[in-house]
Structure 1
Amino acid sequence: MEEPSAPAGLAVTARGLGLKGPRGWAFRGVDVDAEPGALVAVTGPSGSGRTCLLLALTGRMKPTEGTAEVGELRLPRQAAELRRVSALAHVPGVTDLEPALTVAEHLRERALLQRRFGSPVRGLLRGRAERAAASRELIDGSLTAAGLDLEALPKGPRTAVRDLERTEALRLEIALALLARPRLLGVDDADLKLADGDREAVWSLLASLTASGITVLAVCGEAPASASAITVSTRPHGETSDDEAKGAADALAETGRA
Structure 2
Amino acid sequence: MDSTPHGAAVTAAGFGVKGPRGWAFRNIDFTAGPGSLIAVQGPSGSGRTCLLLALTGRMKSAAGTAEVGGLPLPKKKAAVRSVTALAHVPGVAELDPALTVGEHLRERALLQGRFGGSLRALLKPRRERRAAARALVDTALTAAGLDLESLPKGIRTSVRDLERLEALRLSVALALIGGPRLLAVDDTDLKLSDGERDAAWKMLHGLAAAGTTVLAVCSEPPEGDEDVVLVRTGNRPEPTVPEGAPGDSTATTAHDESKDSEESETGKTGKGSQGEPSAPVGTGSADSAPVKTPADDGNDDEEGAADALAETGRA
Place the TM-score, normalised by the shorter chain, in its bin: over 0.9
2-side partners of 1:117 and 1:7: how far apart? 25
Letter matched to residue 59 of structure 1: G
Letter matched to residue 155 of structure 1: K
2-side partners of 1:4 and 1:244: how far apart? 41
Alpha-carbon offset, residue 7 of structure 1: 6.8
Native 8 Å contact 2:234 2:298 kept in 1:
no
Within the alignment, does 1:51 sit opposite 2:49 as a pair?
yes
Alpha-carbon offset, residue 122 of structure 1: 1.6
Corresponding residue to 1:188 among 186, 189, 192: 186
Per the normalisation by structure 2, the TM-score is 0.78
2-side partners of 1:9 and 1:200: how far apart? 23
**SS of corresponding position for 1:241:** helix
* Gaps in structure 1 of 5+ consecutive residues: none
**Greater relative CO, 1 or 2 (CA 8 Å, sep 6+):** 1
Q: % of aligned pairs identical?
A: 65
Native 8 Å contact 1:7 1:183 kept in 2:
no
Corresponding residue to 1:212 among 205, 210, 213: 210
Residue in 2 that maps onto 1:255: 312
Alpha-carbon offset, residue 234 of structure 1: 1.1
Per the normalisation by structure 1, the TM-score is 0.95
Alignment of 1:1-258 (within 5 A): 8-225=6-223, 226-235=225-234, 237=236, 241-256=298-313
* Gaps in structure 2 of 5+ consecutive residues: 237-293
1-side partners of 2:311 and 2:118: how far apart? 32
How many residues are matched?
255
CA deviations 1:65-91 (Å, max 9, x no partner) are 100011110001111011111000000
Native 8 Å contact 2:88 2:185 kept in 1:
yes
Greater mean deviation of Cα atoms: 235-244 or 74-83: 235-244
Whose Rg is larger? 2
1-side partners of 2:113 and 2:4: how far apart? 18
2-side partners of 1:250 and 1:119: how far apart? 36
1-side partners of 2:91 and 2:157: how far apart? 22
CA deviations 1:83-119 (Å, max 9, x no partner) are 1110000001001211110000000000000100111
Alpha-carbon offset, residue 215 of structure 1: 0.3
Q: Tell me which stretches of 4 or more aligned residues in structure 1 moved more than 4 Å.
A: 3-7
Letter matched to residue 254 of structure 1: E
2-side partners of 1:210 and 1:203: how far apart? 10
Letter matched to residue 54 of structure 1: L
